[in-house]
Amino acid sequence: MTIVSEQRVRYAETDQMGVVYHANYLVWFEIGRVEFMRSLGFDYRQMEVEDGCILPVVEVTCRYKAPARYDDKILIEAWPVLLRGSLLKFAYRVTRASNMREPQQVLAEGETAHLVCDASMQKCLMPERYAAPIRSAIRVADRNGDGEDRDEIDGQE
């Protein structure tokens, strides 16, 4: 299961060359991940407050394919690819939405790895009420191939 979030590139996200500064893609990955969790019926705040469960990023990769520019409409796709023990991995794809001048284009792809921890930063297992729907979403992605089963949010059709 893949969730698609839509954003507009803000002027503050661009650098002197007029393109999006590379670190902003990591912020967009977080937007996609948070919206994915929300689509499952829970959020990070709930995990932290109710269960003392946090998901620090322990590894990130990002492959830049084309630049994003101010006011581009971007689509952020996020889906889980692995939940094994205390390790949770997400994959992402950021694309520029098609417009009158250009077709849709992949801008970046990446992954984040998270370690499930308790409030004292000790490794632990993810509570089952979160783990079960994430595992189900991974199975849907495996069955359909990433990007084939897209659920859109944020008012998208």
Structure tokens belonging to residue 44: 């990070």
Residue 36 host element (H or E): helix 24-39
Catalytic residue among 15, 43, 142, 154: 15
Active site residue 15: yes
Tokens of 87: 């390790």
Residue 26, Cβ density class (10 Å: 0-12 exposed, 13-18 middle, ≥19 buried): middle
Taking CA 92 as the corner, what is the angle to CA 66 and CA 23, rounded to the nearest 5 degrees? 60
CA-closest candidate to residue 2, choices 149, 155, 153: 149
Closest CA to 90 of 24, 157, 37: 37
CA distances from 63 to 93, 108, 118, 120, 151 (A): 10, 5, 31, 33, 24
Give the residue numbers marked as catalytic.
Answer: 15
